[in-house]
Structure 1
Amino acid sequence: MDSEAKIMIAFLFNRSGKNQLKDSELYLPLSMELDWLSSKEAQEFINYAIKQKLLIKKDGLLQPNFPFEKITIPLGFTPSKKVFSEKTEEFKEENIIDRIAIQISTQTNHSQKEIFEEIKQEEKEKILFREVAALYVAKKYSVDITDWYDSVEKILIKENRE
């Protein structure tokens, strides 16, 4: 049987009728249209799929790295919450700055490289922790950062204790 992640990806691409999609064309249906995930979880899922090589990026667009047309999607398919909680735990261990930068990049259509450079520049100019600089850049582009406050606060408290 195909993994739930593959089924989700196949579902999204079959639904769109396209072979390549923008990041937003994947995470918006997951969160807004289908209401399967929060916007943050949807972005994390897309990042997970890229890391697991289920999706590959070509010319700024994502495409499945498997024959999605051959995936059987069960009638009335809705993914279990288990798949998301497992993915979320994996992502908590990742670098939060990367995740914030990806969110900024996705929502502003700026390249991740540009966003990382801007975060580094703000960090140096304003003498900020890099996590705070990432939040600052996100806010500058009007990207909703409320989901990141607790995570950044925990990191900062942990760093100050060490």
Structure 2
Amino acid sequence: MRTYRLSAIALTAASLVALLSGGASADDSPRPCDALKRIVAAAPDGFVSLTPDDGKGVAQPYGDDAQCSAAHRSFQCTWTPRQAAGSNADALEAVGADIASCLPEATHDQNSPGRQHFYLGGKDRRTEITLTTDGSNRLRVVVAGG
């Protein structure tokens, strides 16, 4: 009995150390909020510091084929939603909900079946996030600003 308790305590302690030290989890995929915040934070200085992988976390919950690119004034990603994400309109709504929950300071000024639009900041230093359908079976998110 005593050996069992010590083993259980040791296992619990090892699990806690792994958790607190940032050990790997079963799902190490990028998170939408982390990706969105990183992209928006880059906006004032231009997006050239970002890599295509920086945006994949926005799409990853909904599709596996995200293609992202950065330019000085914008960052964009396009992807094909998985069937499990529902229609393009459903996937667009889901990504829009991610944007709204991850960036609560953003103003959501357009919500339609084919387009979601958000902005942060004033007119002088505005960052805009536009999510649209791209053709019949792809979604596109564009973050622009500066």
Pick the structure with more helix per residue: 1
TM-score by length of 1: 0.24
| Larger-Rg structure | 2
Pick the structure with more strand per residue: 2
TM-score by length of 2: 0.26
